[in-house]
A and B are shown apart, each in its own frame.
Chain A
Amino acid sequence: MKADRKGILTGKHQLSGSQACAEGAFSAGCRFLGYYPIRPSFGVVERFIERCADGDGVFIQMEDEISALAAVLGASWTGKKSMTVTSGPGLSQMMEHVGLGVMLETPCVIVDIQRDGVSEGLPNAPGGGDIMQARWGSHGDYEIIALAPNSPQEMFDFTVKAFSLSERYRTPVLILSDPGIGRMEEEVTIPDLKDLKMEKRKYFRGNKDSYLPFKYDEKDLVPPMVDISQGYRFHVTGLTHDERGYPVMSDECQEWNVHRLVNKIRLFTDQIVEIEENQTEDADVVVVSYGVTSRDALQAVRQARKEGIKAGSLRLMTVWPFPEKRIAKLAQKIDGFVVPEINFGQIFFEVERCSRGESETLFVYHASSQVGQSADILKSIKKIAGNKN
């Protein structure tokens, strides 16, 4: 493994999704990894550690996932881009600090290599059970950003994008992947550092006495940040706080504080959301999918087209925020959606909600053992197409 002077690997490389994720983090400038060992997330960690050996990166294996994300949040306030890598049970432990990250508006990236099942489940099998946990797992009201790559190249690209979004919106950003993508090896193109599209952290540069940690800009609702040790002597708290960062226990302050946290993402949904559509223009049936399942979905759509069914595919590259408007619009003109997931229905309910009864929505339980196959998805496409006739 050879990296250039700045520690960035560039050019074409045969990489697994996990390795590509670690490289993406490095390219994005991430230099802090806090983690706790869990299957099947370790590919990312191993690669990151290798890269720390001859660079300026720092990693620490914490005593659990609670502390892993706590350390990541702390490191982020020193100006270091920071991330953690985990899987379902670990993500469950991290949830309190997802909330703290949201409340203190701390940029960081959480890579979740989703495994299948409730509790310990199937530790090595691809899963899609953390989709709603990513959205709603921490207590209280908040919005979150989550991306779902479907190839090693996207593991690289989306990791870079996740850092970029986390800096732009000052929020934790999740990458919802799975071991199907994590272990998959493909050629990954890593661009030069200068060609990476990265939003920079917005810093406060004013007078030392005039810094208010949560005084936000009206145009993007995001307050500028400072690093620890820059002399601003600031205070921040996970309690409901005013623009000084001091706790204020009132409804007015709660509204001022939390509503903005929600709005700084909700009002910018159109700018954040990225979806990929295939043959939806004339489609009667649209398969909505994400992550590793989207590869099977696309295969099913192609087969359906061969068989004369007007099928299309909508892939969620951004899972959260959800592309409500687009789903609602499609619902008005198509006969139905097919939603395959490696769970018993999570995004399915979102699609059903957004289609507002305008079209049928069919769920496909695409078990982890079915990854790589598309017959079950095709069957559901045919069912909707058949219902029409």
Chain B
Amino acid sequence: MKAIEKEKKHPMEQLLRMDRIPHIWCPGCGIGNAVSAFAEALDKLEFDLDKVCVVSGIGCTGRVAGYIKVDSFHTTHGRAIPYATGIKLGNPELKVVVVSGDGDLVSIGGNHFVHAARRNIDLTVICVNNFIYAMTGGQVAPTTPIPAFTTTSPFGNFESPVNVPRLAEAAGAVYVARWTALHMRRLASSIVEAFNRPGFSVVEVISPCAMYYSRTNKLGDGLDMMKFYYENSTIKHGEPTDNLDIDYQKEIIVGKFVDRERPTFTESFKSWQKE
């Protein structure tokens, strides 16, 4: 009996708000994988969890803050990064993590993403990219590949999607990686590396949206999407971010692309004060 009880427990239970389980995500969604990898990274980090703060915006991934058992904020659509910026500058000892979706971070919050990277605010951003606005019912996203179908691209998307790693690198991020929801271990290791790199770090997680993206495009369920990632993702560390565009149902290049040093905002601020 005891063994069964033990098995029932999630291995990361101490890091999750078990009183909120079951979570709201659909069967086959990849956000849970991202949360698991994130929790694993927090566990590996050997950092005082009282000093970790998670901030999310709005959307499916925006709900992550509500399931991680650290000080956490579910804020407004697109503004998780500036909210987190205030937290980090208010208390520079904190490790502040933004977990949000592609629509939240690179569409409505795109300008904040760019400027936080430029200033090199010491934040880790986990961007779950499912190519679609799922919470609102499956509309075309800034990341939707051409010519994928969504409820608002019924004849196929014709807009160029954002290449998240390239945007992050160009704006000044010090650490940029991409994995899929299949690459749990590598994702967790990348999140740890991102935590340990002072400055603005970005980890993109390509994730299945079984409810809207896969269904609208007849790509099967979450498991089929995982199989697709398994067969079509290629690890290419150090690949120039220019090559990281994601075409519809083609190869997805994953890996660590940027790892560099730049003075953080707080460091620059302190040296200004000294002068």
| B115:A63 contact, CB within 8 angstroms | yes
- Report the bound CA distance from A388 to B19 in whole Å: 69
Residues of B within 8 A of A68 (CB): 82
Q: Is B203 an interface residue (CB 8 A)?
A: no
Residues of A within 8 A of B272 (CB): 53
Chain B: how many interface residues by the 8 Å CB criterion? Answer: 41
| B71:A239 contact, CB within 8 angstroms | no
Q: Is A73 an interface residue (CB 8 A)?
A: yes
Q: Is A235 an interface residue (CB 8 A)?
A: yes
- Cβ-neighbour of A71 out of B82, B111, B273 (below 8 A): B82
| A74:B83 contact, CB within 8 angstroms | yes
Are A72 and B76 CB-contacts (below 8 A) given A63-B115, A228-B91? no
Q: Is A184 an interface residue (CB 8 A)?
A: no
Residues of B within 8 A of A97 (CB): 76, 79
Q: Is A82 an interface residue (CB 8 A)?
A: yes
**Chain B, interface SS category:** helix
Q: 8 Å CB contacts to B: which residues of A223-243?
A: 227-239
- Cβ-neighbour of B75 out of A72, A80, A100 (below 8 A): A100
Residues of B within 8 A of A37 (CB): none
A-B contact count (CB 8 A): 134
User: A142 CB to closest chain B CB, in angstroms?
Assistant: 15
- Report the bound CA distance from A60 to B83 in whole Å: 12
- Cβ-neighbour of A233 out of B69, B73, B91, B114 (below 8 A): B69
| A235:B86 contact, CB within 8 angstroms | no
User: A26 CB to closest chain B CB, in angstroms?
Assistant: 16
Q: Is B180 an interface residue (CB 8 A)?
A: no
User: A75 CB to closest chain B CB, in angstroms?
Assistant: 4
Interface size class of A (residues with CB under 8 A): 35 or more
| B76:A100 contact, CB within 8 angstroms | yes
Residues of A within 8 A of B269 (CB): 58
Q: What are 23 A-B interface contacts by the 8 Å CB criterion?
A: A34-B82, A34-B86, A53-B273, A60-B89, A62-B82, A62-B115, A63-B82, A67-B115, A70-B75, A70-B85, A71-B86, A74-B86, A77-B73, A82-B86, A82-B90, A104-B73, A228-B87, A233-B49, A233-B71, A234-B72, A235-B71, A235-B73, A238-B76
- Taking beta carbons and an 8 Å cutoff, which residues of B are in contact with A? 17, 19-20, 49-51, 53, 55, 65-66, 69-76, 79, 81-91, 93-94, 111-112, 114-115, 119, 265, 269, 272-273
